[in-house]
Amino acid sequence: MPLAERDYQVRLEVFEGPLDLLLYLIRREELNIYDIPIERITAQYLDYLDMMQMLDLSIAGEFLVMAATLMMIKSRMLLPPEKRAATVEDEEEADPRWDLVRRLVEYKKFKDAARFLEQLERRQSDVFTRHEVVEPGAEVPVGPPTLADVSIFDLLGAFQAALKRIGAHEDLREIFAERFTVGEKIDELLERLREQGEVSVTRLFERMRSRHEIVVTFLAMLELIRLQQIEAVQRGTFGEIVIRPTADAGVSVGAASDE
C-alpha cells in the first residue's frame, strides 16, 4: 500500500538489518531463541517488511532474502523430522532453523559487545583531554544519522500499534476531509516540542483520526530524526518512547566552540 501522494521524500537509510529485526521480535515476544515459533515470527517479520515498504524506507535487499529464508524454513518445518534428516547428512542439522539460530546467536553476542562499548563511550564523553578541541575530525559528524537510543523497529512498533487502533474505527469521511503534508507535520511537531519539551509517541498518535495522518506524522518524525533535530528515547526496554529536540538543535552553527 504505497502512499498515494508524496509531497516530501523521506530518505531514512536503515542501517539495521534483518537479523536486528528478528532479534527485536524475539525479544519483544519473549521467545526462546533456540526454539523459535517460525510461523509466528515469519508473520510478524512480513508485517514489518510491509510497513517499511509502505513508508518507502530504503531497506536493503537482505530483508527480502531473509523473508524468503523464513518461508523456506517454514515449509521445511512441515516435513516430518525423519524426512528432513534424510535430506541432510548431519543429524544435528536436521532442524531447518538451526542455521538461522546460529547466526542470530552469534550476532547477539556482538550486539552485547556493542552495548559494552556504548557504556565505555558514555563514560568517556565526560572525559576531556587538553587537545580535545583542536583534534582534527572534531567537526566530523558522529557516524551515520542515529535514532539515538531507539531502534527503527521500536519506532515501527509504535507506528504499527497506532495503525491497528485506527483500523478499528477509521472514519472514512475524515480521510477525504483532511490532507496533510509531511512539511506541515514537521512544522507542527517542532512547534509542539517547543511548547512541551517532549512528547510521547503513543500520545502523539492518539489524537489522530486517520491512517493518512498517522503515516504522514510518522514520516515527519523520521525526517526530523534524520536531520538530528529531534531524538527518540525509550524509558526502559519496550517502555514508552518519547521524542524531544536534540540538545543542540537550533543552536546557531559557528557560535564560538570554545572561548
Residues that bind other proteins (CB under 8 A): 13, 15-20, 34, 60, 62, 66, 92, 101-103, 105-137, 140, 142-147, 151, 244, 246-248, 251, 255-259
* Shortest separation between residue 251's beta carbon and other proteins, angstroms: 8
Q: Which residue, 1 or 128, has its beta carbon nearer to other proteins?
A: 128
Give the C-alpha separation, 226 to 156, whole Å.
Answer: 15
Minimal distance, residue 127 CB to other proteins, in Å: 5
Cell 538530528 appears where?
Answer: 228
DSSP-derived secondary structure letter, 252: P
Question: CB 256 → other proteins: shortest distance, Å?
Answer: 7
Considering the complex, state which of residue 8 and residue 107 has its C-beta at the smaller distance from other proteins.
Answer: 107
Minimum CB separation of residue 155 from other proteins in Å reads 13
Q: Identify which of residues 135 and 206 has a Cβ nearer to other proteins in the complex.
A: 135
**H or E element at residue 230:** strand 230-234
Closest CB to other proteins among residues 82, 92? 92
Residues 104 and 23: beta-carbon distance below 8 Å: yes
If you write DSSP's letter for every residue of 63-102 in order, what string do you get? HHHHHHHHHHHHHHHTS-HHHHHHHSSSGGGGSTTHHHHH
Give the closest residue to 157 by CA, choosing from 29, 4, 15: 29
